[in-house]
């Protein structure tokens, strides 16, 4: 899949490749880190690739957070049993809070899912958005820089 996304990005005219990176980074499990790396590998300047990936991931995350917030406001708390994955995320949320889950949660699940889950657990929508944006920027920067360094080593 990653190779197909990279091929799609490079097939576009250079002026539109950054739009492809925005779209790619909005995909759960690809995120800002995958989008930044794909953009750099496709030949987009690292600063543009990272910025585009962060924008795409943030837009996608905001859709999930605002949707979860709206749904949570309309639905009463239920005593329904949490799935095993949601139980794991809830334990992580209870232990590390919004900052910890935002920064480390992408090791387990996409930012879109972790952010929506935290809001559904009762976390402040604004706190989730703030910490998720910080996390998305950090992960995008790290992987974008690593991809750029890897490309420069291959030359």
pLDDT score at 88: 83
114-154 per-position pLDDT tens digit: 999 899 888 999 999 999 999 999 999 999 999 999 987 77
Calpha distance 125→116 (Å, rounded): 9
Question: In a 3-state reduction of DSSP, which class is residue 153?
Answer: helix
- Among 87, 30, 78, CA closest to 53: 30
Look at residue 38 and tell me whether its pLDDT is greater than 70: yes
pLDDT score at 70: 79
Q: Which helix (H) or strand (E) holds 62?
A: helix 46-74
Look up residue 46 and give its two tokens: 């690292």
pLDDT score at 73: 61
68-118 per-position pLDDT tens digit: 887 876 665 555 677 887 788 888 899 999 999 999 988 888 999 999 989
Q: What is the pTM of this model?
A: 0.85
The answer to whether 144 and 39 have CB atoms below 8 angstroms apart is yes
pLDDT score at 135: 96
First to last CA, the chain: 25
């Amino acid at each position: 899949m990653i190779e197909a996304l990279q091929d799609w990005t490079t097939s576009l005219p250079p002026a539109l490749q950054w739009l492809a990176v925005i779209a790619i980074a909005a995909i759960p499990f690809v995120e800002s880190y995958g989008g930044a790396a794909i953009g750099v590998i496709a030949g987009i300047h690292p600063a543009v690739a990272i910025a585009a990936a962060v924008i795409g991931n943030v837009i996608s995350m905001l859709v999930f957070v605002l949707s979860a917030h709206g749904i949570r406001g309309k639905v009463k708390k239920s005593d329904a049993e949490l799935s095993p994955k949601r139980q794991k995320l809830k334990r992580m949320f209870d232990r590390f809070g919004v900052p910890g889950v935002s920064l480390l949660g992408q090791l387990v699940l996409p930012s879109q899912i972790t952010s929506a889950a935290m809001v559904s657990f009762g976390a402040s929508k604004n706190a989730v958005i703030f910490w998720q944006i910080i996390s998305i920027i950090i992960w995008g920067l790290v992987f974008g820089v690593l991809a750029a360094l890897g490309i420069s080593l291959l030359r």
